[in-house]
Amino acid sequence: METGRNYIHGAWTASASGGAFEKRNPANTDELIGAFPRSTAKEVQAAVEAARESFPAWRRLSRIRRGEYFDAFVQLVKRDHEAIARLVSRECGKALNEARADVTEGIHMAQYVFGATRMPYGDVVASEIPEKDSFMRRRPKGVVAVITPWNFPFAIPLWLLGPALVEGNTAVFKPSRETPRTGQRIVELFAEAGLPPGVLNLVHGIGEEAGDPLIRHPDVDVVLFTGSYEVGSQIKTVCAADYRKMAACEMGGKNPLIVCEDADLSLAVNAAILSAFKTTGQRCTSASRLIVHERVLDEFERRFVETARRITVGDPLDEKIFMGPLISASAREKVERYNALSREEGAMILLEGRRPDGPAHAKGHFLTPHIYRMAHNPRSRVLREEVFGPHVALLPFRDLEEAVAVANATEYGLAVSVITEDYRKARFIREECEYGLGYVNLPTIGAEVHLPFGGVKQSGTGMPSASTLIDAVTHRTAWTINHAREIKMPQGLKTEIG
């Protein structure tokens, strides 16, 4: 058992109040991963002060020098890749191959921001006056709060911290209470990479006790959040009340995968299995609605259910399993409530989600896939609300207009996938669906770091990605220089006094 620490101004510190929370392995709750500081407004205050104090010196470094810390970080992550992946797996219950991919995705973001430091980050802009040179230049905003979820405990902090720090901001990072050890590992590696004290500060804790004072702190300029809509919408409301504060939130999905009549059904089944059940359905990009043309639905259903039946559920460190556990007892209970609700709302259950029995599963939050078929009903809760688990609906459609109407009939708009051999159908989906990430003949999961990431509607602000996050963490400034000996004004303004 380990004792976790906060990291404030380059020092590893225990919680000021002495309070702690425990983290256990979701696949085996007998295994205690550690006890972590249950931080309060006091630690948040110290961390924000440290970040504020370190900001001027960090901002004044060259952008390329800041990027070099990420290069050093990448070397260390590569050295420890397997050990970090095993930690991720034990802490959040992801199958080991997915935990390795999570670490790889973090490496990719660190590499991306390092490379980006030698790329242009502003514009040369024309002027009405020939002797004037005008530029759009970016300036960092200041102190950034980074609040991240447990389901990508390595990659998502890097998605957010990467652009924030490279652009010259300093940060206070609060990882999910479900994955504090991985969060702390990231900070340890940055410390080992030589990042100056105060640039990246770590505060462990619970949302209400540590997250809340962090987002409300008057010296926090930007809040970057990935997590549920319930929390993200509260963060947006709090930040909106402070005219200086900006919040970029990425908040989940109810993603559809559309299987057209002409689809290659093997590919469709494979894409659907990966979309619905990878990470035990706990990705914001997981598909929970498979919208299938009525003429191929029976055949698709047969093959999909048959494949899902063969899914192995168990210890995430066992290379042979496909699905690990749900993250917590309450997460499993939530999925079970939605499984029961699907029956109450009139679905035909094709595969019942259940707790696997046997000693290997006794100590973890395991649940097998739950698959049902129903006609679309806009009032159905199971078809609109995010479940975040191995829970998926099969819904028939007759023509593409109907498929689009069903796909859009939710408050979320993150990912959409269409399985077809017909480019006209794919184009129709591209134009008419509401989404941030669109896929053709691919699962709804598997985004790469250099593409835009983020959704519309309740899914978010469309910002949390490498290519767009820069707009959240920097101000665009105009910088204009006169090269003439006299002043010439735009818009035909006269400069003579008399």
Q: Which residues are catalytic?
A: 250, 284
Q: How far is the CB of 439 from ligand UN1 (least distance, A)?
A: 10
Cα separations (Å) of 407 from 213, 345, 461? 38, 19, 20
Min dist. Cβ of residue 447 to ligand UN1 (A): 3
- Which residue, 108 or 204, is less far from ligand UN1 as judged by CB? 108
Distance CA 23, CA 441 (A): 39
Residue nearest to ligand UN1 (CB): 447
Residue in 286, 44, 69 with CA at minimum distance from that of residue 187: 69
Complex with ligand UN1: residue 67 or 227, whichever CB lies closer: 227
Pick 43 or 250: Cβ nearer ligand UN1? 250
**CB of residue 262 vs ligand UN1: minimum separation in angstroms?**
26
The three-state secondary structure class of 113 is helix
Least distance to ligand UN1, CB of residue 283, Å: 4
Give the nearer residue to ligand UN1 in terms of CB position, either 40 or 285.
285
Rounded to 5 degrees, φ, ψ at 32 are: -90, 125
Q: Running DSSP on this structure, what letter comes out for residue 40?
A: -
CB of 152 to ligand UN1, least distance (A): 5
- H-run or E-run covering 160: helix 155-166
Please report which helix (H) or strand (E) contains residue 413, including its range: strand 412-413
Nearest CA-CA partner of 284 in 186, 161, 471, 150: 150
To the nearest whole angstrom, how small is the minimum distance from the Cβ of residue 23 to ligand UN1? 20
Of 187, 163, 197, residue with least CA distance to 464: 163
Question: What b/e readout covers 277-289, taking b as 16+ CB neighbours within 10 angstroms?
Answer: bbbbbbbbbbbbb
Q: Is residue 70 a contact partner of residue 109, using CB atoms and an 8 Å limit? A: no
- With respect to ligand UN1, which residue has the nearer C-beta, 275 or 474? 275
Within 13 Å, how many C-alpha atoms sit on residue 118's CB side? 6
For the bound state, the minimum distance from the C-beta of residue 276 to ligand UN1, rounded and expressed in Å, comes to: 12
Rounded CA-CA distance 447/441 in Å is: 14
Closest CA to 305 of 259, 271, 351, 340: 351
**Tokens 């992946």 sit at which residue?**
85
Q: How far is the CB of 7 from ligand UN1 (least distance, A)?
A: 24
List interacting residues with ligand UN1 (CB under 6 A): 105, 151-152, 226, 283-285, 445-447
Sign of CA dihedral 95, 333, 228, 403: positive
Beta carbons within 8 Å of 445's beta carbon, 6+ residues apart:
274, 275, 278, 279, 283, 285, 286, 287, 415
Closest contact distance (angstroms) between CB of 452 and ligand UN1 is 12
Complex with ligand UN1: residue 66 or 177, whichever CB lies closer: 177
Q: Which residue, 70 or 152, is less far from ligand UN1 as judged by CB?
A: 152
**Residues in a beta bridge with 479:** 135
| Type of residue numbered 465 | S
Pick the closer one to ligand UN1 by CB: 40 or 279: 279
Nearest Cα to Cα of residue 385 among 366, 358, 412, 407: 412
**Comparison of 35 and 158: residue with beta carbon closer to ligand UN1:** 158
Cβ atoms of residues 214 and 220 within 8 Å? yes
